[in-house]
Amino acid sequence: MRIYQSIYIVGSYELGLSDAWDCHVYALDYGDGLALIDAGGGREISIQRIEQNLRDDGLDPANIRHVILTHWHKDHAGGAHIWQQKYGATVWLNAIETPLLEGRNAQFSGAVPVCKIDRQLHDGDEIALGQMRLKTIQVPSHSDGICAFLLDLNGYRAIFSGDIVFANGLYGLINYHGSSMEGYRKHLHKLAHLNIDGFYPGHLMFSIHGGQRHIDVAMQRVSGPFMPPSIGQSGITYLMADDY
């Protein structure tokens, strides 16, 4: 489904586009190929539906050249190895979480399908996609090394925020390894004052225009005395037993 110019959403559990284990999967058509922002959970139905959604939008899955992961969790990175093996896509992930997705951390063995990372990312790195540029903004919060990606598309500024922050300033704080309120206090300021138009998170609603307001609400809460509302409290992405 085309969102804005060269930006598409091609997978999502909440929007009914693909499998129950899928985050929002975005596709960027940069002329010489396609880049996926996050990979979905990787189950067969996920891959099939994402491929069909691309075709329905006039895009050829064989042109997937890059898979750019916001973080290593299964609903975002579980399908990375499939896109890599099937289409030769280059997989990008932050350096902090690379050992987790590559299966080099015994504590989390089996938590997500193993994938070899082709390119490791650090805060401030740029990814060149033809004439497009994605800037890496690392905001350890929802996970140890989670990153947002800032796109300037002919003056239209869009951010792919993964699970850092969601619509209406909802936090991505969960009861899992690497997720901490301290991370939000230290790093969320990196998303302030970016004058975002398009706000494209990993779950729930996205905004085509006026996206900075969602981040601004989250920023107001970061220094307050109370625990901010988070997706871990909401149950919105709760999976039914037969979805496991």
List, in order of start, the domains of the chain with CATH numbers: 2-122+131-243 (3.60.15.10)
Per-position b or e across 75-92, b if 16+ CB within 10 A of its CB:
bbbbbbbbbbeebebbbb
Report percent pLDDT > 90 for the chain: 92
CB contact at 8 A, 21 and 238: no
242's CB contacts (< 8 A; 6+ apart) are none
Pairing of strands 90-94, 119-121: parallel
For every residue of 8-73, DSSP letters joined together read EEEE-TTTTSS-TT---EEEEE-SS-EEEES-----HHHHHHHHHHHHHTT--GGGEEEEE-S---
* Cα dihedral 201, 205, 210, 215 sign: negative
φ/ψ (deg, to 5) at 98:
-55, -45
pLDDT at 234: 63
Query: Residue 95 burial by CB count (10 A; 0-12/13-18/19+): exposed, middle or buried?
Result: middle
pLDDT at 7: 98
Task: Please compute the mean of the pLDDT values over residues 184-192 and round it to a whole number.
Answer: 98
Degrees to nearest 5, angle at CA 190 with 184 and 195: 125
pLDDT at 22 over 60: yes
Task: Please compute the mean of the pLDDT values over residues 42-57 and round it to a whole number.
Answer: 98
CA distance 227 to 229: 7
Element (H, E) at 217: helix 212-222
Please state, as a whole number, how many other Cβ atoms lie within 10 Å of the Cβ of residue 51: 21
Q: What tokens appear for 202 in the block?
A: 């990993």
pLDDT at 243: 47
pLDDT at 33 over 70: yes
pLDDT at 240 over 60: no
Q: What is the mean pLDDT of the chain?
A: 94
pLDDT at 244 over 80: no
**Residue-wise pLDDT tens digits, 77-97:** 999 999 999 999 999 999 999
3-12, 63-72, 130-139, 224-233: segment of lowest average pLDDT: 224-233
φ/ψ (deg, to 5) at 29:
-95, 105
